[in-house]
Amino acid sequence: YVPTEWRLQAKHNRQASQGALEPEAAKRLTEQLREHIERGNALYREALALGVAREQARLFLAGFSVYYTGYVTQNLHNLLHFLKLRMADDAQYEIRAYAQALYAEFVKPFAPTICEAWESAQSAS
């Protein structure tokens, strides 16, 4: 995505824009963004050609190499199902590391008795 107009941050509303950036600066930013996207795509293709796993090669693509913050509503039953899938040995390393941290830091301290039973059930299967 390359914007057709670069907007200015609103002074009194952190979630809004207000007005447009001056044309010369906007042109420069557009050129820089296009170059950034093209360079990232070239690095992505190069990594793939070297045999790098797609999920790691994507780190060269804009938007894939940053962490995002969000809020999730989840019930424990479905969360444990998600964790079972994502903590499996055949899951991608990055999602497995995320799931293990989520389980150890948040889920297990929140529901230790249920997690103990869940771990026993996982070991038995």
pLDDT of 77: 97
For residue 59, give Cα distances in angstroms to 32, 111, 124. Answer: 19, 34, 37
pLDDT tier at 51, thresholds 50, 70, 90:
very high
pLDDT digits (tens, 9 = 90+) for 3-46: 889 999 989 888 788 899 999 999 999 999 999 999 999 999 99
Report the 3 state secondary structure along the chain: CCCCCCEEECCCCCCCEEEECCHHHHHHHHHHHHHHHHHHHHHHHHHHHCCCCHHHHHHHCCCCCCCCCCCCCCCHHHHHHHHHHHCCCCCCHHHHHHHHHHHHHHHHHHCHHHHHHHHHHHHHC
The answer on pLDDT for 82 being more than 90 is: yes
Q: Where are the domains of the chain?
A: 7-60, 76-124
pLDDT of 26: 97
pLDDT digits (tens, 9 = 90+) for 89-116: 988 888 999 999 999 999 999 999 999 9
Q: Which tokens go with 119?
A: 């771990």
**Model confidence pTM above 0.75:** no
- Among 14, 34, 86, 96, the active-site one is 86
Query: Is 86 a known active-site residue?
Result: yes
pLDDT tier at 72, thresholds 50, 70, 90:
confident
